[in-house]
């Protein structure tokens, strides 16, 4: 059977993710689903009509699903499922304000994934992502390596972009990293940031680095405040699509993702933003690297913050 990826939720995040995945031209099929009648089919038709112009062969299939799982047969045989279903934030909201409403949606989606695509690797992006990832694992009962979340690739890209703009260098000169939660306890990691191999701390004063760290932590809110309706999707979809690509190509790439942590950095039993090798089975291995004491303390603080919330989702 050919390579197949499903994107659940055909909103801004889901439709741009489907577009990027189709344009990679590495899947046979991209399935795009939503609960809104006609929307995924319309977007799929539109994307397919772009194929002769962009020059890709991947077929996009749009399917409307019902409250009782109608339509989910279409996801059968998916190698990867990206979950984008759920409400985005409005200005002034934190991602945590979406917890209850999105938990209901993600639970229902996850149960259908378990039923119709029991061998899929699941990438969760719905917010609050650390909690929704934990919930998707609970609701699917998939092995923990096969369910992980998108946050770190995006947060790292935001950090990288800010550093590149500040120093007026190409983005490709900058190596950066963010770990921790996708929220207030995000842990941008300046000790792992370099520009053309030089430590960031040699190029910028500590106050300026702290400013960039704070901006990274608020990166999503900054976009939401400008858009006023809805949240970011270009950079987020780029991140999710790259992760799905790493899975299907079994690349073994080390990416910052929301993964199950089991002893790394002295932290256990929680989904948290860490670096991990990604491949055909999802998370191959969490990668523990050298961090400063204050970065490790930040990571532990993030773990405790998300641990409490992740316990709550079991009852949502
Ligand atoms: N099954 C499938 N799709 C659903 C379901 C469901 N049970 N419930 C809602 N949806 C769909 C909506 O119909 C809508 O088309 O999810 C889509 C969400 O799209 P947008 O409102 O455009 O939101 P988007 O910007 O795509 O963000 C989606 O990603 O970054 C996060 O915080 C963001 O949680 C939000 C998610």
Atom of ligand 1 nearest to the CA of 67: 7
Ligand 1 center to residue 125 CA distance, Å?
10
Spatial distance between the Cα atoms of 52 and 251, rounded to a whole number of angstroms: 28
* pLDDT string in tens for the chain (316-residue length): 689 999 999 999 999 999 999 999 999 999 999 999 999 999 999 999 999 999 999 999 999 999 899 999 999 999 999 999 999 998 999 999 999 999 999 999 999 999 999 999 999 999 999 999 999 999 999 999 999 999 999 999 999 999 999 999 999 999 999 999 999 999 999 999 999 999 999 999 999 999 999 999 999 999 999 999 999 999 999 999 999 999 999 999 999 999 999 999 999 999 999 999 999 999 999 999 999 999 999 999 999 999 999 989 988 8
- What CA–CA distances, in Å, run from 206 to 23, 48, 155? 41, 49, 20
Q: E strands, the chain, where?
A: 4-8, 29-34, 59-64, 80-83, 121-124, 147-149, 174-175, 178-180, 186-188, 194-195, 198-199, 253-262, 268-279, 282-287
Query: Six-digit token pair at 310?
Result: 């992740």
Ligand 1 center to residue 105 CA distance, Å?
9
Residue of 84, 131, 241, 258 to mutate, ligand 1, most atoms within 8 A of C-beta = 84
Q: CB–CB of 258/149 below 8 Å?
A: yes
Residues having CB within 6 Å of any atom of ligand 1: 8-14, 33-36, 65, 84-89, 98, 102, 105, 108-109, 125-127, 230-231, 233, 236
Ligand 1 center to residue 27 CA distance, Å?
23
Q: CB–CB of 101/86 below 8 Å?
A: yes
Atom of ligand 1 nearest to the CA of 36: 13
For the chain, domains (ranges, CATH) are 4-149 (3.40.50.720), 152-313 (3.90.110.10)
Phi, psi dihedrals of residue 284, rounded to the nearest 5°: -75, -40
Ligand 1 center to residue 200 CA distance, Å?
37
Q: What is the pTM of this model?
A: 0.98
- Cβ-in-10-Å burial (0-12, 13-18, 19+) of 271 comes to buried
Note if 182 is an active site residue. yes
């Amino acid at each position: 059977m050919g390579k197949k990826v499903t994107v659940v939720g055909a909103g801004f995040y889901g439709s741009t993710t489907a577009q990027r995945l189709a344009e990679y031209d590495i899947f046979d099929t991209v399935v795009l689903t939503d609960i809104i009648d006609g929307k995924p089919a319309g977007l799929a038709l539109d994307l397919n009509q772009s194929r002769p112009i962009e020059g890709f062969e991947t077929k996009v299939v749009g399917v409307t699903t019902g409250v009782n799982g109608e339509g989910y047969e279409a996801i059968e045989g998916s190698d990867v499922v990206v979950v984008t279903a759920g409400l985005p934030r409005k200005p002034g909201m934190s991602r945590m304000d979406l917890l209850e409403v999105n938990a209901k949606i993600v639970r229902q989606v996850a149960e259908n994934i378990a039923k119709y695509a029991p061998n899929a690797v699941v990438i969760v992006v719905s917010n609050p992502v650390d909690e929704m990832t934990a919930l998707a694992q609970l609701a699917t009962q998939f092995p923990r390596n096969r369910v992980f979340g998108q946050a770190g690739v995006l947060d790292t890209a935001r950090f990288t972009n800010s550093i590149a703009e500040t120093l007026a260098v190409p983005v490709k000169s900058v190596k950066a990293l963010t770990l921790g939660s996708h929220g207030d306890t995000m842990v941008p990691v300046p000790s792992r940031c370099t520009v053309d191999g030089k430590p960031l701390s040699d190029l910028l004063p500590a106050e300026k680095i702290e400013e960039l760290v704070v901006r990274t932590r608020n990166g999503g809110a900054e976009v939401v405040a400008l858009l006023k309706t809805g949240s970011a999707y270009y950079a987020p979809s780029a991140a999710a699509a790259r992760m799905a690509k790493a899975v299907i190509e079994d690349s073994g790439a080390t990416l910052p993702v929301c993964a199950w942590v089991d002893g790394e950095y002295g932290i256990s039993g929680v989904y948290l933003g860490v670096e991990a090798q990604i491949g055909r089975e999802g998370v191959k291995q969490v990668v523990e690297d050298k961090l400063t004491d204050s970065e490790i303390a930040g990571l532990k603080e993030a773990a405790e913050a998300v641990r409490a919330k992740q316990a709550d989702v079991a009852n949502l």
